[in-house]
Amino acid sequence: MPDDARDTALAHVESLIRRGDELQQRLSADSTAAADVDEMRGWQQQVAAAVTHLSGGSKAHWLSRAFSDALLVRSIDGGAVVEAPAHDIVHRLVEVLVRARASLQQMHDPLGFDASRFGGDETPPRFRFVHRRELHPILEQAYADSRAAFDRGDFGEALVLTCSVLEAVVTDALEHANSVIHGEAALAHIADMSFDARIAASERAGLIRGGCARLPSIALRYRDYLDASGSLDDSVIVLPREARTAAQVLRVVMRDLDPGR
């Protein structure tokens, strides 16, 4: 694909992802709003057109198959459910678009960077805004694992991984801002802050906006529910909507910290 066509396709996919994230938030709050459902259908048609273009119209292409799979959910016994809830459809289609974006970004890289590899000196594109470079591959892996956990129905692991990524990027931004203004000596107190205190401090500093207000209480206190191995205690139940909301908030915060993404 020529560079100009690739850049145009990437910009279009980015735009569809942003609209999809906005739709997810509105549909999660009220999945019956007729205007939002109508907008979702129009957005879905645009996603379908983009998939057709990027896959060359081939139904066998991985992107076409991923798009088709996103329109279905699976019942507990493994059977296909014909119609998924609107917000679930949008969530799954955003995931497809994210994979399409990663594929296009890989084409951008003359070195052929493979996002499935997190070693060496390559910087995973999603977390280039994080100042501590050693965190890039760790965050990329945790982000991918959180999505995989959600897709297989392990909402507790999805929530913990999502919140760990969210806390890491917020902490990194807060530490960088404090070191620039007050020097390294001002960083010691950040390590003693709770998760919600770090969020509040980042909001006061203007690093992020108010998106974290949507986080469920279990997300803000996720550390309290971890056992000695760092896994979620078996007695803790995490609902799908709690894990989904945490993932949506993470994407909002990542846009706050990296407006150009």
Model confidence over 64-83: pLDDT tens digits? 777 887 776 544 444 444 45
pLDDT, position 208 = 94
- Residues of the chain with pLDDT > 90: what percent? 30
Global pTM reads 0.54
Quote the mean pLDDT of the chain. Answer: 79
Least confident of 129-143, 175-189, 241-255: 175-189
pLDDT, position 77 = 46
Least confident of 11-15, 57-61, 198-202, 251-255: 57-61
Cα radius of gyration rounded to whole Å, the chain: 19
Report residue 165's pLDDT band, with 50, 70 and 90 as the boundaries: very high
Give the C-alpha distances (Å, rounded to integers) separating 107 from 60, 101, 102: 20, 10, 9
Report residue 32's pLDDT band, with 50, 70 and 90 as the boundaries: low
pLDDT, position 128 = 87
pLDDT, position 30 = 66
Whether residue 172 is predicted with pLDDT greater than 70 in this model: the reply is yes
Least confident of 29-38, 76-85, 137-146, 231-240: 76-85
Q: Distance between CA atoms of 24 and 251, rounded to whole angstroms?
A: 11
Highest average pLDDT, of 84-98, 124-138, 176-190, 197-211, comes from 197-211
Buried b (16+ CB within 10 A) or exposed e, 126-141: bbebbeeeebbbbbbe
Determine contact, residues 217/196, Cβ cutoff 8 Å: no
Q: Distance between CA atoms of 113 and 145, rounded to whole angstroms?
A: 19
pLDDT, position 11 = 87
Q: Which helix (H) or strand (E) holds 73?
A: strand 73-74
Q: Distance between CA atoms of 125 and 28, rounded to whole angstroms?
A: 28
